[in-house]
Amino acid sequence: MIWVTWAQHRREALVSGLILTVAAALLVITGLLMLADFQSSGAAGCASAGGGRAVGVFNAGTTCDPVLGAFFSRWFSLTQTAWLALMTLPVLLGIFIAAPLLSREFEQRTYLFAWSQSITKLRWAVVKLGLLVTVVVVSAAALTVLVMWWHSPLDRAGYGGPWAAFDVLGIAPIAYAVFALSLGTLAGLVFRRTIPAMALTLFVFVGVRILIAQVRPHFMTAVTGSALDVKQGSWLVSANYYTDAQGHHVSFEQVNQMVSVYASTAPKTFNGSTVMDYLHRQGISLLTDYQPPDRFWTFQLIEAALFFGLAISLIAASLWWLQRRA
């Protein structure tokens, strides 16, 4: 049955293999260029010197910031393109490989030929699907390792930490791919027609990805801390906001009023840092909610568990459908 599946799908396998090879070659070439630039522009030195530095506020003026800033802007558009391309790979897999996997056999009625051999329809589906899952997991894992190597200069330079590339790093992309292929397979099995199966795969995949991305900031209760010293590589999940000594929210208008009162009473000493001291004495703090960098892998695990869980349910549903409803 493995030979049979290979014989039947070698064209798709070769095309997919070619696409992956080209993608990997591009990643290696641009990755080496980026790494060379990272070293030669001095960004590497700055990154190791500035480890653990606070992000964001009032930190300009060091000689490193322009160096790192220039490094990011040189690689910005390439990074964006690469993320977009990598993020579409799972849904392409779902639409063009998984959705036709069974629906094409139903459309061309070749499933009747396959089922007329001495293997059960359940085994036919399990081998096809199992082989596809194996190939996809292995290639997605290999590709993700490559992407993580490719992305590492950006990480080390503190480009929003790995959070900014959450969708293409770690184990989540593997889970997206397995989810996409189980979704496509079930759609193909239920509709028995390729085009509707492809359309459903596209809409459900994108819908579920958006939905879970909305929920993702709340996987764990965010840490609340002063907006002035959030650790580098944290994921800010709220805008900055003010609270008073009792911890109640204070609106920006109220704070502005206090600041203008202070400005009129002490116009001579009024500047950025005295205002902050003044607000601090009044019990006002500028806070933000964030997920610290050490939670990255926990979040990856949660995200991957969600999508692997969905994938397993869809595969179970496919086999049930084939056995009971077909």
- Name the helix (H) or strand (E) containing 223: strand 223-226
Nearer to another protein, 59 or 110 (CB): 110
Q: Is 6 in the site for another protein (CB under 8 A)?
A: no
Could you tell me which stretch among 6-14, 54-62, 152-160, 170-178 binds another protein (CB under 8 A)? 6-14
d(CA 104, CA 195): 10
Exposure of 317 by Cβ count < 10 A (0-12 exposed, 13-18 middle, 19+ buried)?
A: middle
Choose which of 40, 63, 73, 118 interacts with another protein (CB under 8 A): 118
Choose which of 120, 251, 254, 274 interacts with another protein (CB under 8 A): 120
Shortest CB 115 distance to another protein, Å: 6
Q: Is 319 in the site for another protein (CB under 8 A)?
A: no
Within 8 A by CB and 6+ apart from 128, the residues are 5, 101, 102
Q: Is 253 in the site for another protein (CB under 8 A)?
A: no
Choose which of 76, 113, 203, 320 interacts with another protein (CB under 8 A): 113
Choose which of 1, 85, 164, 317 interacts with another protein (CB under 8 A): 1
Q: Is 62 in the site for another protein (CB under 8 A)?
A: no
Q: Is 110 in the site for another protein (CB under 8 A)?
A: yes
d(CA 237, CA 326): 46
* Dihedral angle of Cα 71, 21, 204, 126, to the nearest 10 degrees: -150
How far does CA 199 lie from the centroid of its chain? 23
Q: Is 28 in the site for another protein (CB under 8 A)?
A: no
